Amino acid sequence: MAKLGLRYKVGVHVDSCLGGFVVPFMEEAGFEMDPFDFRVEGVTSISADTHKYGFAPKGTSVIMYSSKSIRRMQYFVASDWTGGVYATPSIVGSRAGSLIAATWATLLYMGRNGYMESTKKIVTTNRKIAAELSRVHVYVLGSPKVNVVGVASKEFDILFRVYEKLIERGWHINGLQFPSSIHLCVTMLHTKDGVVDKSVRDVSKVVAQVASDPKAACGGVGAMYGVSQTIPDRSVINEIAEGFIDILYKC
């Protein structure tokens, strides 16, 4: 992608919001990882969410640029405002100072060693989960290398059939479409003793139950999430989502 950016003189952005505090510490934690950052010629910007694996308060993120000239592109300046010259680092404008202070304190508290250790535990756990799940009636999507593992099935619709049953057992997972699947973002909570074994056991039990009757009728929350795959006019989905947000604001 970076080579294409260089060829056509287009900036290449790396969305590292989910892995921004895991991937940079992979090599130091003992895992192989191809360069993805400004070491790759052509990468012009990188984003990372401090509130995820940086363990900072929700609503904080950072974006980095390869040069000051590119960074200036995000500034908002109104020189002809009646109140005077107005300039902010972004269109968003002001930010809460408490969030910035709390995030900075979190970064100092964790330190480089703290993030390296969390990376080691999370990546090791993620790979163990992927290896264990590949032995049941599902297949792992892609080749999980960092902190997310997704699974699907060729025998039954995993989103329609498995998702809700795992939710009922207390697991917080995400349903996906295209293809119908589920995925888990591995966190420090999953690295605690016994969590991986229990999760794999629960998935195995649910999958075995579903696999015994793979053509059974679908229903429940999982089916609702996945129904958009079968709607010919997907613009209807956008309208439903916008209507949902309208209701939130109305209330």
Residues 6+ apart with CB under 8 A from 184: 129, 148, 149, 150, 171, 173, 174, 190, 199
Give the pTM.
0.83
Q: What is the pLDDT of residue 224?
A: 56
Q: What is the pLDDT of residue 114?
A: 97
Q: What is the pLDDT of residue 234?
A: 65
Give domain 134-230's CATH architecture: Alpha-Beta Complex (3.90)
Please report the beta strands in 49-187, taking only residues with DSSP state E, as ranges in sequence order.
Answer: 62-65, 76-78, 86-88, 139-140, 148-152, 174-176, 181-185
Q: What is the pLDDT of residue 251?
A: 66
Q: What is the pLDDT of residue 130?
A: 94
Q: What fold characterizes domain 2-111? A: Aspartate Aminotransferase; domain 2 (3.40.640)
Q: What is the pLDDT of residue 151?
A: 93
43-48/12-15 β-pairing: parallel
Q: What is the pLDDT of residue 199?
A: 92
User: How far is 105 from 217, CA to CA, in rounded Å?
Assistant: 51
User: How far is 202 from 207, CA to CA, in rounded Å?
Assistant: 8
pLDDT < 70: residue spans in the chain: 219-234, 251
Domain coordinates of the chain in residue numbers? 2-111, 134-230
One-letter amino acid at 147 equals N
Burial class (CB in 10 A: 0-12, 13-18, 19+), 170: exposed
DSSP 118-157: HHHHHHHHHHHHHHHHTTSSSEE-S---SSEEEEE-SSS-
Residues 6+ apart with CB under 8 A from 61: 17, 47, 48, 49, 50, 51
| Residues paired with residue 47 on neighbouring β-strands, in sequence order | 15, 63
Q: Is the dihedral of CA 179, 180, 186, 187 positive or negative?
A: positive
Chain segment 135-183, per-residue pLDDT in tens: 888 899 999 999 999 999 988 888 778 888 898 898 888 888 888 899 9
